[in-house]
Amino acid sequence: MTGDMSPIDKAKFAAACRAADMVENGMRVGLGTGSTAAWMVRRLGERVKQEGLRIKGVPTSTRTAQLARELGIEVVSLDQAGWLDLTIDGADEFDGELNLIKGGGGAHLQEKIVATASDQMIVIADAGKEVETLGAFPLPVEVIPFGWQTTRTLIQEALDTMDVLGNSAALRMNGEAPFVTDVGNHILDLHLQRIGNARQLALVLNQVPGVVENGLFIDICDKVVIGHGDGRVELRDINDGTLELDQLVEGGENLFSDLAD
């Protein structure tokens, strides 16, 4: 099985395991969405079974909730948890200040709420997600279905005044029909190529009527765990300015030998 994993998947797995191993007994943990976050949830499930780890997980999507439950992780809502010790989630892009683009999986609204309600957010990503300037990855913006085309026009007018290199806004599709988020909204993917001032753009987008939330995470992420295809991981802490280097298992392949699917 391990031979079937691409270097990117191995990198995601390495980052996910390193972060999951930072979770401690009794923690209330935000569980992100996406393929990297799914590895993290699997690793937590393994720790629950093997070590008797006791945590309460707050999933950021119905997909993650289902996976967590299947793995025996106790799932509670954000309101039941109240406040979280830690959220671990993937990202589509991160820059040197750990500002992020998220929402490639369509869950950035819940992800932002959950991460903001946490003492700490740790992003897990393969090394290819690091960029100097955000914006090559299309920026997801969640909009309510009512009048979404008008909302799109207003967004494009706002973009014309921003430091970006494009203003096309594509309605995300799921086959022939518009993609629908867990809470019943649509997503516009903004093809901006380069975002000169992400902080300003995040504020401006959220002022457009019909916009529910954009996928820019500014000053929310505290640490990033960057995985590499050979099992090496880097842990960067933006608050302490520290960098740790790690190799989860020497000899590489053992790291991936417990993958069941």
Binding site for ligand 5RP (CB under 6 A): 32-37, 89-92, 102-108, 111
Any idea of the CA torsion for 218, 135, 130, 16, to the nearest 10 degrees? 70
Of the residues 51, 93, 97, 111, which is catalytic?
111
Token pair 């529910």: residue: 212
Nearer to ligand 5RP, 92 or 189 (CB): 92
Measured CA to CA, the distance from residue 193 to residue 138 in angstroms comes to 7
Q: How far is the CB of 115 from ligand 5RP (least distance, A)?
A: 10
Residue 45: both structure tokens together = 């499930």
Measured CA to CA, the distance from residue 141 to residue 179 in angstroms comes to 12
Distance of alpha carbon 101 from alpha carbon 239, whole angstroms: 19
* Shortest separation between residue 16's beta carbon and ligand 5RP, angstroms: 9
CB of 41: closest distance to ligand 5RP in angstroms? Answer: 11
Considering the complex, what minimum distance in angstroms separates the CB of residue 126 from ligand 5RP? 8
> Is 111 a residue of the active site?
yes
Of residues 90 and 138, the one with the C-beta less far from ligand 5RP: 90
CB 67 within 8 A of CB 37: no
Give the long-range contacts of residues 76-83, CB within 8 A, separation 24 or more. 76/28, 78/113, 78/114, 78/117, 80/56, 81/28, 81/56, 82/28, 83/28, 83/117, 83/118, 83/119
Contact 91, 126 (CB under 8 A): no
154 or 195: CB nearest ligand 5RP: 195
User: Considering beta carbons, is residue 45 or 104 the nearer one to ligand 5RP?
Assistant: 104
By annotation, the residues acting in catalysis are 111
